[in-house]
Amino acid sequence: MTREHNVRRRAVSGRWRPRTAFTLIELLVVVAIIALLISILLPSLKRAREQAKMVACQASLKGISTAGNTYAASDKSEMSIPVHRLMGIGVGAVGEYEYGGKAGIGEPQQGVDPLSSRWGTQNGRGPATRGLNTVIYKGGFNDYADDPGPNNQNWLNDTTLDVGIFKCPSDKGYSGHHYTAWQDSGLTSYDHYGNSYSASTGWIGRPGAGCKLESNSSFLKPISRVPNPANTIYFMENAGRFAWRKNYGADGCGSLSGALGNDVESAVKGWHGKPWNFATAFVDGHSSVVTIDGHYQPQPQLSSYPDGEDYGVWHCVIIRGPNWQIDTLPAPSVLTSIDCTGGGVAVNTIQ
């Protein structure tokens, strides 16, 4: 009986046992297919994860803006961004981060000790002093400025609080054109300042003796006196705070440029991966992603300016772009008692 006949007999009689192992070539083919599928799917998964973080970031900003509007409703002056008690007294206390969040650990005042941070509890900027915290976290926080606790534990706890609404899940820290202290710290905005989001605090410092800072933004204005609340920036991811400066010096406003120089010299990357795009909340309470790639130039010719002044003075502080603005013209600016050289702000600074 031939071998071929035996094979047929085994197959017919049911005693045939098929081969169960893969050959090396087959295994390599399967591995190659899996690798190809992974390479195709990974970018999509990464985009999906980042999109989810973007949604979370926008939801936080919307929650913060809602808290700001709630705060304004109960404040006798209708201030929607709380004015910190150190404003104009403490170094650099001009309101952009102290409105909410935890104690930051950036810019230590004594060596490298994070507990001596200018944004921390020891220096009066702990979570108990940040106004929106009282709206969002009903129980509030104890003020430990004068009570560090055993081994400074109270101050340490203030730097590790979970105040998640003030933390952008994509906060990766400095991403271009911002204060060098933050860049040098290597920290996230949340850890450096205690907050991932900056409030819109646009300042004017006029040339001349006796210069006092003026607010040209929604900060220090009654919420009912913001002319265009649906377009006026309220809070935004801190990465983009100064992105409007891309073409600022070209306006002939160099003398008002302040500590950050005339222009943004390189792309400012949003934390969610796209340059010049930043999650933002507006005074009317909505949030969206906006493109801040410099500002309109030439500046829009408004029909009138506050205080009877001319375009030559005001064009440098009209800061706007497509569907957004920082300035609140034609509403008048709000004069403060803060010296232009005080609070860590340079003379004639526009921020």
Residue-by-residue DSSP string for 43-60: HHHHHHHHHHHHHHHHHH
Whether residue 32 has pLDDT greater than 60: yes
How would you write 112-129 as a 3-class SS string? CCHHHECCCCCCCCCHHH
Question: Dihedral of the CA atoms 105, 109, 110, 114 (nearest 10)?
Answer: 0
Please give the pLDDT value at position 304: 59
Please give the pLDDT value at position 284: 94
Please give the pLDDT value at position 345: 39
Domain count, the chain: 1
User: Within a domain: residue 121?
Assistant: no
User: Within a domain: residue 101?
Assistant: no
The two three-digit tokens of residue 120, written as one number: 């921390």
pLDDT (average), residues 144-149 = 96
User: Within a domain: residue 100?
Assistant: no
User: Within a domain: residue 335?
Assistant: yes
User: Within a domain: residue 225?
Assistant: yes
Please give the pLDDT value at position 199: 96
pLDDT (average), residues 200-222 = 84
Please give the pLDDT value at position 350: 45
User: Within a domain: residue 119?
Assistant: no
Please provide the distance, in angstroms rounded to a whole number, between the alpha carbons at the two ends of the chain: 98
User: Within a domain: residue 95?
Assistant: no
Q: What is the CA radius of gyration of the chain?
A: 28
The two three-digit tokens of residue 231, written as one number: 């377009």
For residue 205, name the pLDDT band (cuts at 50, 70, 90): confident
Of 103-117, 209-223, 272-286, the least confident? 209-223
Residues 6 or more apart whose CB falls under 8 angstroms from that of 247 comprise 263, 294, 295, 297
Domain with 51 in it: 47-85+168-339
3-class DSSP state for residue 218? coil
Whether residue 135 has pLDDT greater than 80: yes
**Contact indicator for 140, 133 with CB cutoff of 8 Å:** yes
User: Within a domain: residue 180?
Assistant: yes
3-class DSSP state for residue 235? strand
Whether residue 146 has pLDDT greater than 50: yes
Please give the pLDDT value at position 208: 67
Please give the pLDDT value at position 311: 56
Residues 6 or more apart whose CB falls under 8 angstroms from that of 97 comprise 104, 119, 193, 194, 195, 198, 199, 238
Residue scoring higher pLDDT (94 or 349): 94
Question: Dihedral of the CA atoms 31, 32, 36, 42 (nearest 10)?
Answer: 40
pLDDT (average), residues 284-310 = 77
Whether residue 36 has pLDDT greater than 50: yes
